[in-house]
Structure 1
Amino acid sequence: MTTSAVLGASAQQQIMTPDLLWALGRVHMEDVNKDGTKVLYGVTRYSLEENKGERDLYIYDTESGTPNLVIDLPGSESSAVFFDDTHIGYAKDGQYWITEVGGTPQPLTQLPEGSGNFKPVQLKDGSWMLLFSVREKVSETPGEMYPSLPKAEFKVIDDLMYRHWDHWNDEFVNHPAFGKLDISGAHQLTTGGFTHIMQGEPFESPIPPFSGSESFAVSPDGKYVAYNTKLTTGKEFAQSTNSIIFLYDTENGDVIEVPGRSGYDSSPKFSPDGRYLAFTSMEHDGYESDESRLAIYDVRKKFTVIVGAAEDQVVEYINDFQWTSKDELIVNVPFHATQRLAKIELGRLREGEALSYELEYLTDGDYNYQGFHYAKGNLFAERQDMNHATEIYSVTEDAVTPITHVNDGIYEHVDMSNVEKRMVPTSDGKEMLTWVIYPPDFDPNKKYPTLLYCQGGPQSPVSQFYSFRWNFQLMAAQGYIVVAPNRRGVQGFGSEWNEEISKDWGGQAMRDYLAAIDDVAKEPYVDTENLGAVGASYGGYSVYMLAGIHEGRFSAFISHCGLFNLESWYGVTEELFFANWDIGGPYWTNPAPESYAEFSPHKYVQNWDTPILVIHGGNDFRVPENQGMEAFQAAQLQGIDSKFLYFPNEGHWVLSPQNGMVWHSEFFGWLAKHLKE
C-alpha cells in the first residue's frame, strides 16, 4: 500500500494511525565519504500485504542538497560503505558486493554459507580489508548422533544456554575472520583467501544475541585485528558477562589479551594513528546494565586506562563513540531522558592512573541522537523524538539541519502531540522526570482517559524514542493522555538512580509509578475513573505487580511479555547473569533472595480485580511464554475479565507487519472497551 493510499486522496490533516505508522520509512545512516560531502543511508519500507520489508540505499549530496537512489533491488542491503565517491559496497545474501553509482552490482566475495557481520575498512596504504564472521561447526547434529533414524526429531541437551533470546542454539558458533578485499573486482575473496580467527574454539564472536560488526576493528596499518569474546560456554556463559578484547597479529598469528575489566568489554576502535584502542568497559561480572565507561589501551606500551566524566557531569553510560583525531572523540550519551552527542578531549595517558574528561555537548534539546558519522569536520547524526521517526541531520556549531526528509510527506498531514516534561516528587523526597504526552486536539476543559506507561529494561530510560510498537504519538492520537515516568533504575540520571532498581524490582520503582500517576491525576483534565497501566518486559512485570497493589486506581491493564512468577521464570530464562544480579540469585538458596517473597507478582494475584490483557510470544526465551500463561490462567480462574493474545512465532518483540497490526488492534480495542465505553 502506498503512502498516498494510506493518507487518502485528499491528504487532509489527520491523526497517527497504525497504518500510517507502518507506512513510515525507517532510516539508518550507513557511511559518510572521506571529505564529508556525501551521506550513504538506507530506508526500509514495509508492505502489509506482503508482510515483509525491503531496504534500499540512497546517497545524499551536500553540495546539490538532493538524495539519489543507488540500490533498488528486491530484498535488503546492509553494511554499506563508500569505496570512493562513485563506488559503494554493501552486504546482501551472505556476500559482499560493489556497485558503481548507477551501475550493475558485482560480488566481491564467494564466502561460506552463514558468513555475515561484514565490516570493510580502508587501511592507511589505501587497500581494503574485510572483517566478517564465519560459522564453525563445533558439535554433532542430532542426525549424526543417530544416523539410522533420519526422521527422528529431538534435541539432546547436557548444558545450559541451549536457547538464546528467540532461537535454539545449534552446532555452530560465529568466529571472526578477515581478508584482503579487491575492489577492482579482478579477484574475489573466497574460502582459501581469508584468515579464520579462533578456529577450533567453542567460544563465539560476535557475542550473541545482539553483537555484530562493531565487535571487530583493524588497526590503520593492518597489523592487528581486534575482536571480543566470552571465554565461556554453557552454564558459565549463562551466568557471566565477562568478555575480553583480543588483538590478533596478522603477521605472525599471535594473540594479545587487552587488559580490561570484569564485565562487558566491547566495541573496539583504533585511533587514527593506531597508537590507541578505545572500547567500552563494565566493571562488574554479571551486571549487564553496569556503567559503560570508556577505556583506552596503549597498543605500544600495553596498558589500559579507564576514562570517566568529571564529577559534576551526569554520564554513566557511553552508548557509542568515534575517534575524530588521535586525542579526541565524539560520544553518544544518555542525559536526563534524552540522548546527546558530546566531544571528549583526552589528556595524557599514564599507566595506573584514571583519566577524567569534560564533556563538551554538541547537541541539546528534547531529542534522541543515535548513530553518527564524522568526516573532515562534518558531523551527521540520526535523530528522533516522540513525534518523529528517525531522520538524518547535519550537526554544526550554529545549527542542526535535517538532510533527509523521508517521512515529511506523512508528518505534514498528521496532527502532532504536545509533549510536556514534568518533574514529579517521589515518596522518598526526590524528583522524577516524567513525560506527559497529550492528544493532538487536547482541550484542558475536557477529561481524558489516561495511561501509565511502564518502561522495560529495567535500566532503559524513557527517552525521546520513537517506537513502532510502543508509540506514544499513536497512543495519544487515540485520545489518551500518556504518563511516562523515568522511575528508579533508568540511566541518564546518575549511578545511584540507575542502581536502585537492582534487587528492589517491586519496591521504590512501584512507588515511583504510583507517584507519577497520582501527580498527573490531580489535573482536572484527567479522567480518574478511567486510568490504565501498560508495559512490556520489566514494564509488563510492573503491570502485573501494580495489578495487585494499585488500590483501585486503574480500570484496565495490558502486560506484554511480562514476568509474573519470579521462581518459575528463573527456571526457564536463559541469561542467568541478569536474574542473578537483579533478583539476587536462585530461589533455592538458604536464605532465598527477598525478591522472591516480596516482589514476585504472583504473590499478590489474590488482590487482582481489574480487567487485564496478557500478550506473549512463543519464541520469547528471555521471558518465556509460561509467564503470560500463568498470569492469564490466574485471572481467568478468579473471574477477572481477561484476554490472552499469543503470537507463536514472535519473540520478546513483535516484528512481523501483520502481527504488528493485530497487536495494535487488540491493544487499543482493550483500552477502548474498559476506558472509553
Structure 2
Amino acid sequence: MTVRATKFTPKVLLSAPRRSAGVPNEAGTTVLYTTSTYSFESHEKAVELRVLDVKSGESVLLVQDNGVSDPVWLEDKVFAYLKSGKEGKTEVIVGSVENLHGEHHVAGAIDAPVGSLKAKKLADGSYAVVLSALANSKGELYNPETAPKTQSTGKLYKGLFVRHWDKYVGKEKSVLWYSTLRRDKGSFKLSKLVNALKTTGLECPIPPFGGTDHFDMSTSGIIFVAKDPDLDPALSVKCNVYYIPIDEFSNDSTPCPLKIFVPGFEGASTSPVLSADGKKAAFLMMKTGGYEADLSHVFIMPDTTKPYYIINLLADLRGRPRWTRSPQSLAFSNDGESIYMTAEDVGYGRLFMLSSIWHKEMTLPSMVTKHGYISDVRPLKSGSVFVSGSSLTDDSFYSILDTKSLTRSIQEPPDVWSHSSSRHGTTFGLKRSQVSEMWFPAANPSINKEVHAWVYKPSNFDEKEKYPLAYLIHGGPQGSWADSWSTRWNPAIFAEAGYIVVAPNPTGSTGYGQDFTNAIRQNWGGDPYQDLVHGFEYIKENMPEIDTDRAVALGASYGGYMMNWILGHELGRSFKALVNHDGIFSFMGLLATEELYFPFYDLGGTPWSAPANSNPKAKKTQETFGSMTPDAWRKWDPSQYLSEWNTPTLVVHNSKDYRLCISEGLAAFNVLQARGVESEFLTFPDENHWVLKPENSLLWHKVVLNWINKHVGLPPFSQEDEDSDEFYGGVREKDEEPATMMAQGNGHT
C-alpha cells in the first residue's frame, strides 16, 4: 500500500497485499518474496514475485502470475521458483536479478502439483533439489486433475482417517522428491524426480499444514519428520525423525531412511534442520503421547554420520526441562556453533539464541527480539540473522539483526536494517500507542498469579468518552492472543469500529510456562472461565473508559465453545450479545472429529471403559488416554446448561469444518431459536474451520459487526439490506446449494 487508508475497515484489511516471509540471499543484499493481493472491484487475486534491494529499499517486480510460489536462491543473483499451470502441472523456473526484465527459463516441467521447494549447491556446481508432491500407491507422481475418474463417488474406509481438516482422505500420500538442477549451455535443466520415501509408507510433509518446516536438506542428505506408521494417526500424535544419507542426488536408488530413536518420547516432532555444512542436525520433539501442545524439547545430533547419538539440549541430567518456554522452530547459525529458536513468550513471538551449544556448561537461551511475532528465521553468511515477522499494528516486517553484539548486558541487538510493508501500520491509519497490556488476578494463583491480556483502543480514542467492550476469546484452547497480525481475527477491526478490545490469555494459553498451558486439561469450563470472570470484573472496576453495560464477547473454536459455556453461566448475563464461530455444542459431538486424540487427551480419557478382554487396539487407546464415565466426560459440556441460554447469539459454522462438524453450530442455533432467543446463523458451504476466501471473509466481517453493533447501540457497519443477494452470496433460499446463507432467528485451532 502506498497511500494511507482513511479508515481501517475489513475491506482494507482483506485487500492489502499479503507478503510472504522474506528469502534473503547468502550475502543478505537482496530479498525474494511474494505478495498476494485481492481486488474487490475485479473479484480477482494477483500474485507477484518481487525482489527487494536491502541497501536502497527498492522493490522490483520479477513476475506477475497467480501460480508463482516457493522462491529460493541458487546463487547470490540467480534464483528459482515454482509456477503452477494448467491441468495441475508445475514448472521449475530459473531467473537472475542481473536481468530483471529478461526471460526466465523453464528448467523442468513436472506433471503434478508440487510445493515446498528447497535447493543446495553441490561440489560439481549443480544443485540438489528437494520438493513435495503427492504419490499414488505405486509411489508415482499423482496429479488429481489428470488421474482417471471413477464412475462412482463412493469411498470405502477400513481405518482412520476418513477425513482430515477439510478433505476426505484418499490413498495418495504427500512425499518428498529429490532431483538435480544442472547447467546446460547457459541454462538449467531439472533431472528426473526420485521418490525419497518410496516403499516406506511414510508421509512428509505431514497433512494438513506441514511444509518446509517438516524437512531440511544438505549436500549429503535429507532430514524429515513423519507420523509413526505403526500407530493410528487419529489416535496418536507421535512423529518420528528420519535421516536419509545421499551420496548422489542424481542416483535414483534411494537409501532407506534411518529412524532417529529417542527413548521415552511419544509425542509430535517438527522443525528438523541441518547445519550449513550438513554435518549437524537438530529437531523438536514432545514427550507426551496424544498431547499436541506438550513442551517441545530441543535435540541436537552432533554428527549426522552417527544418528544414534543425540543430546537433549535444554534438559538436566534426569531429562527434566531447564527452560519453561516451548520452541516452535529452529535454525543453525551459519557457522553451526549456535542455534536460533522461536518461542511464544508472554504474548510475543520472540527469537532466542543459544550460543556455544557444544560446550558442557550450557546457559539458557538469550532473548534476541522483544516485540512483535517472529515467523521465519534465516541466518546469513555474515553471522547476522534475517527475520520475518508482524505485530498487532504491522502486517509484515523484515529485519537483519546483528546477533554478534548480543551480550547479557545488551539483550536486544540493534536492527542493522528493517523494512515494513505497511510502514509500521501507518498506511492502515494504525499506531502502536493504540495497543497496551494489562494483568489481572488468575483463578488459580498456585500456577500463575496473574493473567495477561492485550488492550486495543480506537485510533481516535477520546479519554472523555466511554466505549463498548469487545471481549475476544482465543481458540486452541492451547493458543494465545499475541503481538501478531491476523486477517481473520484482527483486534484492530473491532477497535476501529468503535470498541475497546480486550483479548485475554486465560488458563491453557501458550507462552506463560508449560504448567499454565497444561492446566486446562479436564478443566475447560473451570479455571479458564473463572479467569474470564476475573478479567471482566477487573475491567469493570479499573477501566472507566469502557462501558461494560455495552459489552459483547466473541470467540472461535475453543473460543466458540466458551461462548456456549458462557451462555449457560452467570457471565453470559453481562453481555449484550455473543458471537460463536465454529464452537462445540456437546462433547459427545467431538466423537465425530478427525483427530480423536485431541478430545481423548484434553478431556481426560475416552467416554467408555475397555473390558479386560478387549482387543489390542482398545487396550492401547486406554493405556494412552485412560477412560472416564460418560457423566465425567460431560462435566464441562455446554449442552448440560441449555435452560440458562438467553443471551442473543450469532452462530457461525461452516460445512467443510471436519474438525468440529457443522452439526455443532446447527444444534446451538436450533436450541436458541426453539427457546425464543434472538439469534442468527451464518454458514459458508465452501469454507472449513476458518473463513479464508476474501469475499466470504468480507461478508463474515459485515455480519459480525452488524450483529454486535446493533446490540451495543452503534450504527450498522454495513447498510446493505440483509434480505438482499449481498447476504446470500448471489443466490436465494430456493436454490439447492446457496453459496452463502444467513438464517435469521477460533474445538482446537
Calculate the TM-score normalised by the size of structure 2. Answer: 0.82
Q: 1:25 to 1:295 in 2, by over 3 A?
A: same
The correspondence of residues 526-537 of structure 1 with structure 2, limited to 5 A, is 526-537=546-557
Structure 2 CA distance, aligned partners of 1:609 and 1:384?
Answer: 39
Is it true that 1:249 corresponds to 2:249 in the alignment? no
- Does the CA-based 8 Å contact 1:621-1:651 persist in structure 2? yes
The correspondence of residues 62-141 of structure 1 with structure 2, limited to 5 A, is 62-71=54-63, 73-93=64-84, 94-101=90-97, 102=100, 103-123=102-122, 126-138=125-137
Is it true that 1:539 corresponds to 2:559 in the alignment? yes
Aligned to 2:24: 32
Quick one: which of 410, 435, 450 aligns to 1:419?
435
Q: 1:166 to 1:259 in 2, by over 3 A?
A: same
1:79 partner SS: strand
Structure 2 CA distance, aligned partners of 1:319 and 1:224?
Answer: 20
Aligned to 1:143: none
Aligned to 2:400: 394
Q: 1:413 to 1:253 in 2, by over 3 A?
A: closer
- Does the CA-based 8 Å contact 1:342-1:363 persist in structure 2? yes
Is it true that 1:382 corresponds to 2:388 in the alignment? yes
Is it true that 1:227 corresponds to 2:224 in the alignment? yes
Q: 1:324 to 1:672 in 2, by over 3 A?
A: same
Letter in 2 for 1:371: D
- Does the CA-based 8 Å contact 1:47-1:53 persist in structure 2? yes
CA RMSD in angstroms comes to 2.6
Aligned to 1:561: 582
Aligned to 2:653: 616
Q: 1:336 to 1:371 in 2, by over 3 A?
A: same
Is it true that 1:342 corresponds to 2:334 in the alignment? no
Q: 1:332 to 1:569 in 2, by over 3 A?
A: same
Post-superposition Cα deviations, 1:189-238, rounded to whole Å, max 9, x if no partner, equal 35xx232122234431111111112322223xx332222212337x8111
- Does the CA-based 8 Å contact 2:74-2:119 persist in structure 1? no
Aligned to 1:509: 528
Q: 1:451 to 1:557 in 2, by over 3 A?
A: same
Q: 1:418 to 1:300 in 2, by over 3 A?
A: same
Aligned to 1:236: 232
Q: Percent identity among equivalent residues?
A: 27
* Structure 1 residue 510 displacement after superposition: 0.8
Structure 1 CA distance, aligned partners of 2:488 and 2:416?
Answer: 27
Out of 203-212 and 407-416, give the one that drifted further: 407-416
Post-superposition Cα deviations, 1:406-456, rounded to whole Å, max 9, x if no partner, equal 323983461546112111112333111111111222223322110111011
Structure 2 CA distance, aligned partners of 1:107 and 1:541?
Answer: 50
Letter in 1 for 2:696: N
Structure 2 CA distance, aligned partners of 1:426 and 1:249?
Answer: 51
Structure 1 CA distance, aligned partners of 2:244 and 2:179?
Answer: 13
* Structure 1 residue 110 displacement after superposition: 2.4
Post-superposition Cα deviations, 1:374-399, rounded to whole Å, max 9, x if no partner, equal 21223222232212211212323553
Aligned to 2:615: none
- Does the CA-based 8 Å contact 1:265-1:282 persist in structure 2? yes
Letter in 1 for 2:644: N
* Structure 1 residue 109 displacement after superposition: 2.1
- Does the CA-based 8 Å contact 2:469-2:551 persist in structure 1? yes
Post-superposition Cα deviations, 1:10-32, rounded to whole Å, max 9, x if no partner, equal x6x73311121123221223421
Is it true that 1:327 corresponds to 2:337 in the alignment? yes
- Does the CA-based 8 Å contact 1:433-1:486 persist in structure 2? yes
* Structure 1 residue 313 displacement after superposition: 5.2
1:303 partner SS: coil
Structure 2 CA distance, aligned partners of 1:567 and 1:262?
Answer: 27
Is it true that 1:548 corresponds to 2:539 in the alignment? no
Structure 2 CA distance, aligned partners of 1:394 and 1:116?
Answer: 27
- Does the CA-based 8 Å contact 2:330-2:339 persist in structure 1? no
- Does the CA-based 8 Å contact 1:165-1:651 persist in structure 2? yes
Q: 1:123 to 1:187 in 2, by over 3 A?
A: closer
- Does the CA-based 8 Å contact 1:131-1:216 persist in structure 2? no
Letter in 1 for 2:429: V
Q: 1:68 to 1:446 in 2, by over 3 A?
A: same
Aligned to 1:199: 198
Calculate the TM-score normalised by the size of structure 1. Answer: 0.90
Q: 1:97 to 1:542 in 2, by over 3 A?
A: same
Structure 2 CA distance, aligned partners of 1:344 and 1:404?
Answer: 26
- Does the CA-based 8 Å contact 2:32-2:49 persist in structure 1? yes
Letter in 1 for 2:117: F
- Does the CA-based 8 Å contact 2:94-2:188 persist in structure 1? no
Structure 2: where are the runs of 5+ without partners? Answer: 85-89, 140-148, 248-253, 406-412, 610-626, 715-749
- Does the CA-based 8 Å contact 1:215-1:228 persist in structure 2? yes
2:634 partner SS: helix
Structure 2 CA distance, aligned partners of 1:267 and 1:415?
Answer: 34
Is it true that 1:579 corresponds to 2:575 in the alignment? no
Q: 1:339 to 1:201 in 2, by over 3 A?
A: same
Structure 1 CA distance, aligned partners of 2:397 and 2:79?
Answer: 21
Structure 1 CA distance, aligned partners of 2:342 and 2:428?
Answer: 32
Q: 1:89 to 1:425 in 2, by over 3 A?
A: same
Structure 2 CA distance, aligned partners of 1:413 and 1:670?
Answer: 24
Structure 1: where are the runs of 5+ without partners? Answer: 141-148
2:20 partner SS: strand
Aligned to 2:455: 436
Aligned to 1:481: 500
Structure 1 CA distance, aligned partners of 2:52 and 2:190?
Answer: 30
Q: 1:557 to 1:100 in 2, by over 3 A?
A: same
- Does the CA-based 8 Å contact 2:239-2:267 persist in structure 1? yes
Q: 1:593 to 1:438 in 2, by over 3 A?
A: farther
* Structure 1 residue 515 displacement after superposition: 1.0
1:543 partner SS: helix
Aligned to 2:296: 292
Letter in 2 for 1:651: N
Out of 264-273 and 328-337, give the one that drifted further: 264-273
* Structure 1 residue 627 displacement after superposition: 0.8
